[in-house]
Structure 1
Amino acid sequence: MSPASCADVAASQNGCAAFDGGESAGDATCVHCSDGSHRSPSYSSSGALYCDFPLKVSDSEKLRRIVIASAKGFSIGAGLKGGLALFSILARLRRRKALASLRKQGVMTNGEAIVMAVKETLRYGLFLGTFAGTFVSVDEIIGSLLGHRRLVLSLFFRTAKWRALLAGAIAGPSMLLTGLETQHTSLAIYILMRAAVLASRCGIKSKRFGRICKPLTWAHGDIFLMCLSSSQILSAYILKQDSLPPSYKSFLNTHGGKDIAILNAVKEITSGMPFTNLEAVEKYYKSVGVDIKLDPAMKVPCSIVHGNQSCSGHIVSFLIQSYKRALPVYLPVYLIPALIVHRQGLSKRPYTILGKGLFGTARSSLFLSVYCSSAWMWTCFLFRIFKRCNIPMVAMGTFPTGLALAIEKKSRRMEISLYCLARAIESFFTCLADAGYLPQSKNLKRADVVVFSLSTAIIMHCYAQEREVFRSKYLNVLDWVFGVPPPPCETPRCKDK
């Protein structure tokens, strides 16, 4: 790590950008040290930077930081993607009998699915590993270029204001490693939403923009965003699934709990079209032991959605089934971060950490199951009241579904609402484009990479300059990956003095 990068790292943490710009690094004084004493440089064994900085750091130390950041980034990318792929494969193996009958129709075999999962795991590992390595490399290169000139030592500290911004933007195109032809619009929009949240938090505590951003402090804004997103996502799930990303569409089809024949029939009655294949719905119900005859002149689709069951009976049975489907989804969500974020405490208090993980799994599974079952509950409720079924009714009925987010832990609500908002925005504009209301852009083929790079530039800038806008668990992960030390006066040596 170069002297310039060391100084800039310290200067960038929580506004620690005030050093006396003398002609030599030995004249630098940390304004956080109240005694104003000049101290000689030193490092801790873990690489943490104290109030005093070394004039020279070997190239091997810089290379070590780059390699470690790349390896940690790879482990996170491969671990997250691999964990999700593992649970997906296990769920697939449980459905072996059902899949065997579909292989003749061109469905991917178990072996092909495993090979694809391994490839995706490696791609996402390379993506995050390259992102981390590129960010640290640019950080070190800029520090080294300025670090060779002692007369411009005062410029070292000024680079902190833009260095992370530039490094984040340059590292963004590493997304292409997941596949040159693979569009990641949903991911790019989600990261943009995260960057917007961080920027808004900076604006809230800013004297200049504080009043403008004050509405963003609304306590239940996350639940409102979830309701808004649900109206678009669940309407698209019934009316226009092609506007949703393939993976998310598969997720909704699994947890929506309805056969495609049922969804097509609901789409037809909602759009005011005549039924084309009610026999397929009747055949499906017969396959699950329900003998039903559907009326082509029906006004509401309740009999299509839940057969001979009453609306209330259907909600109870659907909730139980949905909870069973949700549990495997959230096990890796809580298990993998526990192994990464709480890796040190896991050996000291395993029961506490694992207990919290299991409780979080149960709680999040309840959220997802209530979310899915309430979607059918609210739509049935409106259909029965107004004795009709149309697109506005579906949009209105899926809006209050987002209230289920209140079950989740407060710290997770914004994450989930932003995740869903990103997909809702993508779906909404896809619907507008398909309807001819938006011009088709042919010049910018990889807009997702541009948006992702812009977003990572903002996020990494906030990471370097406004660390307090991050939640501690995310800050711990970023510090672990990128190796950025704590602010000078938060170190033990400075505190002792």
Structure 2
Amino acid sequence: MSPSGDDSTVAGDGCLCEDGGDGRKKCQQCERKSKKSGLTSSSSSYALLSFDSFPVEDYDKRWRIFTASVKGFAIGAGIKGGLSLFAILARLRRRRSLSSAKKVHMASGGEDLILAVKETLRYGLFLGTFAGTFVTARWRALLAGAIAGPSMLLTGFNTQHTSLAVYILMRAAVLASRCGIKSKRFGRICKPLTWAHGDLFLMCLSSTQILCAYILKQDSLPQSYKSFLNKHGGKDPIILQGIRDIACGMPFTNLDQIQKYYKSTGVDVVLDPQMKVPCSIIHENQSCSWHAISFFIQAYKRAIPVYLPVYLIPALIVHRQGLANRPFTILAKGLFGTARSSLFLSTYCTSAWVWTCFLFRLFKRCNVTMLALGTFPTGLGLAIEKKSRRIEISLYCLARAIESFFTTMSEIGYMPHLKNLKRVDVLIFSLSTSIIMHCYAIERDVFRSKYLNVLDWVFGVPLPPYDTTPRKNKNQTMEME
């Protein structure tokens, strides 16, 4: 019935619809308009994120749970499978360059493939179960997100994912801070978080912990991240051991090995056991400035293979339809992004050695304090990246830095109770996802559009009143005809 009590409703555009008695407009034009307006409101309303909001049929619930689980599985398996594929190709390439004696200690290609398939399935089940559990829950999003958190155990009961959990916690903290900025009660407290260059400060802060751990205590870093730093840090572990000895005030233990290492590269260097600064260990007979130039060139070559798939593969997938019309524009954009990000990574790694060498020479000493001071401004290299990527990179590094910091504190005895916590990663992940899903349901505007679109695609925002799934629409259309 119309609000005026009349039996007809004016829909606009010269259309006059008759009410069919069930509260629904039978005009096909008005049907499309009603559906379009309902779907638009569903993308910004908390009520539409709960099954309790409308009389959604059981079929719709089951279909939404099924699709969310399948999409979650596809995302988890796709991401982990892609990373595993690149790792296998990298190991095969490295295996070809090794001698027969070293190949014996490496896993075979078949073993790598089996492990990659297992990991792919585990991560697919993890995200699929998480999405399905959240969609199934009738409770508030805060509680539903927490209940879905333990799905992380599907990746392996004995496999810790502290790095992932801490990173998700950082993402949850960002969303919570954005909500705080909007709040009248907490707006003043959270105002410093609106600083335009806060991402650079976080990167500098993270660099201090990460790069000091890279030299002084690599065991506090995740294995994959440690391998990444060893590759792009550009220094052999033997050299790092020499820097570690002098920074910690210990007698040198491997000067002979360092000299042999440089001799194997065609450089004869004589190291003084009484040296105060490790510049001769870091760059043998080169000057600090020439070492910076030569290191930057090598670092840039190492960085390009890292970012080339990061930009080109998504471009080929997302813009595959536009490649036929404007291939040069899309590929040029990907190549520019690759060159820019490679410049950031190579500058970041080079500046770490430049700043530390500068302070060593300036103060005529090398200790942990000098390392911390020298690695802090390294994070300024992030300014090379475009603004939209800075916060992502800084949060990723901050998560690694936090994990490394607490691991180090626990091992040296300042936080002994941390060793007694089992599967703290699951606890952190559950807390983080509860915050994220709560924000997703209530404060959707704190998400960036690309993340919000992915979440809506995975979880499937429920349809507004009287709308059904596409399959049921088709059946009703057949009945009307």
Amino acid aligned to 2:208: S
Per-residue deviation, residues 176-211 of structure 1 (Å, max 9, x unmatched): 111111111111111111101001001101111111
> Is the Cα contact below 8 Å between 2:247 and 2:367 reproduced in 1?
yes
> Is the Cα contact below 8 Å between 2:410 and 2:419 reproduced in 1?
no
Aligned pair in 2 of structure 1 residues 67, 435: CA closer, same or farther (>3 Å)?
Answer: same
Q: Aligned residue for 1:326?
A: 303
Q: Aligned residue for 1:49?
A: 39
Q: Aligned residue for 1:29?
A: none
Q: Aligned residue for 2:406?
A: 429
The 5 Å alignment of 1:26-37 reads none
Q: Aligned residue for 1:201?
A: 178
The 5 Å alignment of 1:280-291 reads 280-291=257-268
Amino acid aligned to 1:207: K
1:310 shift after superposition: 1.6
> Is the Cα contact below 8 Å between 1:371 and 1:404 reproduced in 2?
yes
Q: Give the Cα–Cα distance (whole angstroms) in 2 for the partners of residues 348 and 63 of structure 1.
A: 40
> Is the Cα contact below 8 Å between 1:164 and 1:461 reproduced in 2?
yes
Unmatched tracts of structure 1, length 5 or more: 1-36, 143-161, 489-497
Amino acid aligned to 2:254: N
Report the number of matched residues: 430
SS of corresponding position for 2:417:
coil
Larger radius of gyration: 2
Q: Give the Cα–Cα distance (whole angstroms) in 1 for the partners of residues 105 and 228 of structure 2.
A: 20
Q: Aligned residue for 1:395?
A: 372
Q: Give the Cα–Cα distance (whole angstroms) in 2 for the partners of residues 480 and 344 of structure 1.
A: 20
> Is the Cα contact below 8 Å between 2:80 and 2:123 reproduced in 1?
yes
Q: Aligned residue for 2:45?
A: none
Q: Give the Cα–Cα distance (whole angstroms) in 2 for the partners of residues 60 and 259 of structure 1.
A: 60
> Is the Cα contact below 8 Å between 1:80 and 1:336 reproduced in 2?
no
Per-residue deviation, residues 311-365 of structure 1 (Å, max 9, x unmatched): 1111112112111221222233334544666677667655544433332222111
Q: Aligned residue for 1:304?
A: 281
Q: Aligned residue for 2:7?
A: none
Per-residue deviation, residues 408-442 of structure 1 (Å, max 9, x unmatched): 11111111111111111111111111111112246
SS of corresponding position for 2:39:
coil
Aligned pair in 2 of structure 1 residues 181, 295: CA closer, same or farther (>3 Å)?
Answer: same
1:267 shift after superposition: 0.5
Q: Give the Cα–Cα distance (whole angstroms) in 2 for the partners of residues 166 and 225 of structure 1.
A: 30
> Is the Cα contact below 8 Å between 1:379 and 1:397 reproduced in 2?
yes
> Is the Cα contact below 8 Å between 2:38 and 2:464 reproduced in 1?
no
> Is the Cα contact below 8 Å between 1:39 and 1:51 reproduced in 2?
no
Q: Aligned residue for 1:133?
A: 132
1:258 shift after superposition: 0.9
Per-residue deviation, residues 191-241 of structure 1 (Å, max 9, x unmatched): 111101001001101111111110100111110010011001000100011
Q: Aligned residue for 1:76?
A: 75
> Is the Cα contact below 8 Å between 2:288 and 2:357 reproduced in 1?
yes
Aligned pair in 2 of structure 1 residues 111, 281: CA closer, same or farther (>3 Å)?
Answer: farther
Aligned pair in 2 of structure 1 residues 399, 388: CA closer, same or farther (>3 Å)?
Answer: same
The 5 Å alignment of 1:145-164 reads 163-164=140-141
> Is the Cα contact below 8 Å between 1:341 and 1:476 reproduced in 2?
no
Q: Aligned residue for 1:276?
A: 253
1:260 shift after superposition: 0.8
1:49 shift after superposition: 3.3
SS of corresponding position for 1:76:
helix
Per-residue deviation, residues 360-418 of structure 1 (Å, max 9, x unmatched): 22211111111111111111111111111111000110000000000111111111111
Q: Give the Cα–Cα distance (whole angstroms) in 2 for the partners of residues 181 and 321 of structure 1.
A: 39
Q: Aligned residue for 2:121?
A: 122
Q: Give the Cα–Cα distance (whole angstroms) in 2 for the partners of residues 309 and 183 of structure 1.
A: 43
Aligned pair in 2 of structure 1 residues 287, 48: CA closer, same or farther (>3 Å)?
Answer: farther
Q: Give the Cα–Cα distance (whole angstroms) in 2 for the partners of residues 438 and 401 of structure 1.
A: 29
Q: Give the Cα–Cα distance (whole angstroms) in 2 for the partners of residues 485 and 73 of structure 1.
A: 17
1:84 shift after superposition: 2.0
Normalized against structure 2, the TM-score is what?
0.82
Amino acid aligned to 2:133: T
CA RMSD of aligned residues (A): 2.9
Unmatched tracts of structure 2, length 5 or more: 1-18, 26-30, 43-47, 466-481
> Is the Cα contact below 8 Å between 1:195 and 1:455 reproduced in 2?
yes
> Is the Cα contact below 8 Å between 2:410 and 2:418 reproduced in 1?
no
1:171 shift after superposition: 1.2
Q: Give the Cα–Cα distance (whole angstroms) in 1 for the partners of residues 40 and 420 of structure 2.
A: 49
1:75 shift after superposition: 1.9
Q: Aligned residue for 2:469?
A: none
Equivalent position to 1:260, from 233, 237, 248: 237
Matched, 1:174 2:151: yes
